[in-house]
Amino acid sequence: MSEPTGPTRREVLGTAAVAGSALLSHGAAGAAEVPAKAELPHVKPEDIGLDPKQLQVAYDLMEKWTTGKDAPVPGGAILVGRNGKVVAPRFFGHQGPEPGAEPIRKDAMFYLASVTKPVIYMAALRLVERGKINLSDRVTRYIPEFTGGGKEDALVLHLFTHTSGLPDELPNNAELRKKQSPLKAFVEGAIKADLLFKPGTRHSYASCGTILVAEIIQRLSGQSVREFVKHEIIDPLGLKSTGLGSQGFAAERLVRAVVPDYQKDKDADWNSTYWREFGSPAGGMFSTPEDVAVVCALMLNGGKWNGTKLLSPATVRMMTSSRLDDMPDMPEPVRRTQPWGLGWRLNHAGTPDSWGDLLDRRVFGHTGSVGNAVWMDPHTKGFCILLSNYLRSRAPWRLVHLSNAIAAAFD
C-alpha cells in the first residue's frame, strides 16, 4: 500500500471553510447560545458529597504556605468540584513573588504553563472528528519537511503521547526567547530537531511535539493556533477569562510567577510582555480556576457541558485512557507505570510523578511548571484545580499533599 499523500489544496480549503462556518455559528447569529457567565454553580461541600473538615485541611496547608515574609508559595487558588458543581474557589497569598506584591485578586488569571497542552490537543481532536487528521498517519503527511534521522516513522499519535522522540525544549530555546522570536521560529526548530529515540519505543515529555500539533492545526485550518483555540474551545464554552496569550486582558489580573534560574532575561521570562503575549501552544495560556472548572466538567460529562457538545464521548474515552497500550514497541514497564491518553496524562500511581497517593491510574489531568495541577476522577466524577505561582520543580510534594487532602474529602 502506498504512503498516504498530504492533504490536497481542496482538503485544506474545505477545512478552512468548516472552521469559517464554525466562526459564524459562534458569532453574532449564535451569540445567544454562548453562556453569558461560564462558571459552574456554587454549592456547599456537603451538597456534592465532600467532607468540609477534610477539605479545610487543604485550605489550611495553602494558607500556611502563602503566609508570612518568607512564604514558599507567593500565591495560589484551590477549586474543587463534582458533577458539574463547585465549592467556591479559595484564593491565597499575593499576586506576585516580589516584596510588597498586592494581595491576590478574586479575578486573578493564572499562567497555566503546561496545563495549556491538553487544550491544544482538544482543539486538534476537533479536526480528527471532522475527518481532517488521522492519528495513525505519519507526521510527514501534514508536515512533509519533517524528515531525516528516523522522523519518517513518527505518527501523529506519537506527538499526542510524548513518544515521538522529540526533545522537550529546543537546544536554542533561550536564544530564541532572548530574540523575542515568533511561533514560526519555534515551529521551524521543532521540525529540524533531532530525535532522541525511535518513535513509539520510549516515553519522554516533549513540548516540541505539542508545537508540531499546533502547526498541523494551523496548516489545516488556515488560522493561527490562537484563533483556532478561541473559536473552537474558548468561545463555545463561554470562557470569558481564558486566552492563549494575555492579549485583551488587564495586566493587573495576571498572576506573576516565580521564574527559574535559566530565565535570566527579564524581557523574555514568564512575566515579560513578550512571553505573556506569545501564547505558546506548549504553555502560554492564562485562565481562572472557574474557567478551568468548565473544561473539567466537560471532560467528565463525555464532551458536553451546558448544552454545548464540544467532543464526542468516543473522543473523550480515547483522551482519558492510556494510548501507550497501542504501541507494540513500548516496553511493558513504561506502559504500566507511565500511562498517557491523547493530550491528558493519567496518574502515574506508585511513582515519584504521582499526583497523589489516594488517586488511581484512571485519574487524568495535567501539571504545570509554575505550580499547577488539574486532575479529574471518572469514578467519583470529582475534580481538583490547584493553581499557584511557585516553581513546582523545587517542591513537587506540595501539590501531592494538597491532592491527598482533597482526594480524602470525597465520599
* CATH, domain range 9-407: 3.40.710.10
**Crossing angle, helix 397-407 and helix 52-65, to 10 degrees?**
160
CA torsion, points 222, 224, 225, 231, in degrees to nearest 10? -80
Q: What are the tens digits of pLDDT across the range 149-158?
A: 999 999 999 9
pLDDT digits (tens, 9 = 90+) for 274-313: 999 999 999 999 999 999 999 999 999 999 999 999 999 9
Q: Considering the chain, what percentage of its residues have pLDDT values greater than 70? A: 91
Locate cell 447560545: which residue? 33
The pTM for the full model equals 0.90
Please determine, for residue 396, whether its predicted confidence score (pLDDT) is greater than 90: yes
Res. 8 pLDDT band, cuts 50 70 90: very low
pLDDT digits (tens, 9 = 90+) for 175-198: 999 999 999 999 999 999 999 999
Question: Which of 7-16, 102-111, 169-178, 279-288 is predicted least confidently?
Answer: 7-16
pLDDT, position 261: 84
What is the residue extent of each domain of the chain?
Answer: 9-407
